[in-house]
Structure 1
Amino acid sequence: MSASQTLPLENETSPAQTDTREPVRMDVIEQIAAMAEGTERSALVWGNTDRATTAAEALWVFARRVGLDGRGDDAFTAVQDLIANLMHLCEQEEITGGEVTFTSLVGIAEIHYLAELDENIKL
């Protein structure tokens, strides 16, 4: 993967190391993911809470698979590792390449996220 396909590092310090808030532990993600249990196979998404729940479910499955599901593990690490693994998948399967970089996918996702936040505010 070329450097242009990765996200630029703005500094050498990880945000997790400088943030003064208590990190979210994976047991919290497990509790959120559990809210999706027993739902229809195709999740009905009515709003941002449903979006967050389906993301927690995916993150929890990933964390269990790679051993980041301990009560002391933090969600920051699991999210970071999942994103890195998604980058590998996108490169390997040529989901990204050429003008379509992982950074561009993240940018489009952010546009969707911001639009969904606006939808929630208008309700």
Structure 2
Amino acid sequence: MSTAQTLTLDNQTVNPEISDKREPVRMDAIQEIAATAAGTERPALIWGNTDRATVAAEALWIFARRTGLDGSGDEAYTAVQDLIANLMHLCEQEGITDENVTFASLVSSAEMHYQAELDEC
């Protein structure tokens, strides 16, 4: 997992890859992607990685709206970081994770799934 995106102690988001090479993805782009899921089947049919990304954008957009991170100028990676942190709280509070199944192990497993799905293409 990349450590390029971290929060500094003063809560300023630092990501040299984004700031030095390209513009960060803004939440209005996530909103546009999420909107493509409107009116589609429930549960979503997943035919490939674009469908996976669309479902994720839909979830991220709902979270961003709920937490006020949905401004067109808001950067998507801030919403992603906050969502992951909130998932960590949920997992701890509800016993989804513990000393045997850590959040890091869930992320590691997710990374393996992601890599396998990339190889499908």
Give the structure-1-normalised TM-score.
0.85
Aligned to 1:55: 56
Q: Distance in 1 between matches of 2:114 and 2:99?
A: 25
Moved over 2 A (4+): 9-17
Aligned to 2:116: 115
Aligned CA distance change for structure 1 residues 58 and 12 (closer, same or farther; 3 Å):
closer
Aligned CA distance change for structure 1 residues 62 and 90 (closer, same or farther; 3 Å):
same
1:92 deviation in Å? 0.3
DSSP-derived class of the 1:69 partner: coil
Extract unaligned runs of 5+ from structure 1: 1-6
DSSP-derived class of the 2:41 partner: coil
Aligned to 2:84: 83
1:16 deviation in Å? 3.6
1:41 deviation in Å? 1.3
Aligned to 2:16: 18
- How far does the alpha carbon of each residue in 1:38-71 deviate from its partner, in whole angstroms, 9 at most, with x for none? 0011000000000000000000000000000001
Contact 2:7 2:14 (C-alpha < 8 Å) held by counterparts: no
**Could you tell me which amino acid in structure 1 is paired with residue 81 of structure 2?**
Q
Contact 2:13 2:78 (C-alpha < 8 Å) held by counterparts: no
Give the structure-2-normalised TM-score.
0.86
Contact 1:29 1:56 (C-alpha < 8 Å) held by counterparts: yes
Aligned CA distance change for structure 1 residues 34 and 99 (closer, same or farther; 3 Å):
same
| RMSD of Structure 2 on Structure 1 (CA) | 2.1
**Could you tell me which amino acid in structure 1 is paired with residue 59 of structure 2?**
A
Extract unaligned runs of 5+ from structure 2: none
**Identical-pair percentage:** 69
1:101 deviation in Å? 0.4
- How far does the alpha carbon of each residue in 1:72-95 deviate from its partner, in whole angstroms, 9 at most, with x for none? 100010000000000000000000
**Could you tell me which amino acid in structure 2 is paired with residue 53 of structure 1?**
T
Aligned CA distance change for structure 1 residues 77 and 12 (closer, same or farther; 3 Å):
closer
